[in-house]
Structures are given as C-alpha cells and as structure tokens.
Amino acid sequence: MKRILIVEDDESIAELEKDYLEIEGFEVKICNNGVDGLNALKTNKFDLLILDAMLPKIDGYTILRSLKDDKDIPVLMVSAKKEDIDKIKGLSLGADDYITKPFNPSELVARVKSHLRNYERIKNKFKSGAPNSTVIIRGLEIRKDCRQVFMNGVEINLTQKEFELLLYLAENPNRVFSKEELFEKIWGFDAIGDTATVTVHIGRVREKIEVSTSVPQYIETVWGTGYRLRV
C-alpha cells in the first residue's frame, strides 16, 4: 500500500483529499502545519507528498528547501496562488507538479497515480546495472545503474525528474525535442500539467552542470523549437 503525506492547514480540504485517496487504496497521513509535516517527512517513509504552499509555522517552500537533494519522492504542490511566479518558485525548489485551488479531487488523484507510476518506472529502470550503463559526454558522466551524475569528476546531485530529463537528452544527443515532447516523455503521457514545468527543470539542470547558464555548453535552446543536448 502506497503511503501519502498531506501537509495542508485547511482541514476540510485535507480530509476531502484523504477520502478520495483512501477510496483508491492509499494510506494517508495528514499534518496541518509545516513543522509537523517536516518532522513527519524526516521520521517516516512516504511514497508521495501533497504539500500546500502556504502553511502555519513554516511554509511549503521552506519545507522544499529543507529537503534539498535528499528528497526522493514525488512532490505535488497545492496552492491558491495562480501566478506563474509562484508555480515557478515551487518547481524550482524541487516540486514535481503544481495544482491550484480550487481543484477537482479526481484530478488530484489522477496526478498522484501518474507520478507514482512514473516514479516506479524510473526505479525499476535503474534498479540493476546493464550494458552501456554509463553515458559520457565530454566532462559529463551519467551512471544509469546507480543514478549518479558527475561533472569533471565531481558528483552533481539531481532530483528524480532532473536526472531522467538529463539522461533522456544525453541518450538522444543532438536531437531537438519540443517542450511538449519532453513533458510527455518524462512526466508521462497521462500526466496533467503544462510545459512550464519543462522550462523550470531545464533551468535547474543547467544551473548544476553548466559553467555558464547564459552560454550553455551542453543543453542548448533551439529557439522556437525546444532543447537539445549537444555533443
């Protein structure tokens, strides 16, 4: 049984989310403030986090910062704020998806299932070593079997989605992908979201592997088309 943590200060919303998820067979725990939520994450094992952006004591963005690169579960951020800057902020800090209130609980459940399926697919893909399990492009080394990335010998910490995005581009060098193609491939054909997610994650990967994000040597923007990893 998959375990879901909901960190939400609006008890009616949290209980509604819990009811819909439990009907689908999930085990659900609710925390009504950021401190309790962060403590629960540090002391318990969960398969997915549903995180409200605005919380008492500490907010959702602070929780994401606290998790840093240790987060190894999908995070679905929920917020009443609809501005793009808030969405970009959440995604930039490591959230995998962003949904604005009010929302259809069935849509929330669909997103949860989609992220869990994709996460399981990634874990199974990299569970054991395989031939050609290392991709090397100049100073960039991607070890698929252990999900590690090195730049000039120095290990770079990537989130789950950042790793899969970089690997997909590296395994298809010099090919240009549109944002829509990357979204469908990395987030899943049945995922619900928008291509701003791709833009944010490309930016995060560049910050970690490029010497200069303004003049990238690996992930290039092909204006009007999309992105490619240049070899």
**Per-residue pLDDT tens for 43-63?**
999 999 999 999 998 999 999
Per-residue CA distances from 78 to 63, 129, 136, 201 (Å): 13, 36, 38, 18
Residue 100's pLDDT band (cuts 50, 70, 90):
confident
Rounded to 5 degrees, φ, ψ at 117 are -60, -45
Q: What is the mean pLDDT of the chain?
A: 87
Distance of CA 78 to the CA centre of its chain: 14
pLDDT at 105 over 60: yes
pLDDT at 176 over 70: yes
Spatial separation of the C-alpha atoms in residues 231 and 227, rounded to whole Å: 13
Residue 26 backbone class (left: φ over 0; alpha: ψ -120 to 50; beta: rest) = beta
pLDDT at 131 over 60: no
Find the mean pLDDT for residues 160-186: 91
pLDDT at 71: 63
Q: Answer positive or negative: Cα dihedral of 126, 159, 113, 28.
A: positive
* Region of poorest pLDDT, from 96-105, 111-120, 127-136, 194-203: 127-136
Residue 72's pLDDT band (cuts 50, 70, 90):
confident
CA dihedral 22, 194, 125, 222 (to 10 degrees): -170
Name the percent of the chain lying above pLDDT 70.
90
Question: 4 with 48: CB under 8 angstroms?
Answer: yes
Domains delineated in the chain:
3-125 (3.40.50.2300), 134-229 (1.10.10.10)
Distance of CA 118 to the CA centre of its chain: 11
pLDDT at 142 over 70: yes
pLDDT at 124 over 80: no
Residue that is written with structure tokens 């970690």 in the block? 208
Closest CA to 77 of 47, 38, 108, 104: 108
CB atoms near residue 52 (< 10 Å): 25
Q: Is 121 helix (H, G, I), strand (E, B) or coil?
A: helix
Contacts of 82 (CB under 8 A, 6+ apart): 100
Spatial separation of the C-alpha atoms in residues 52 and 8, rounded to whole Å: 5
Residue 80's pLDDT band (cuts 50, 70, 90):
confident
Q: At what angle do helices 60-67 and 84-92 cross, to 10 degrees?
A: 20
Whole-structure pTM value:
0.71
DSSP assignment letter at 60 = H
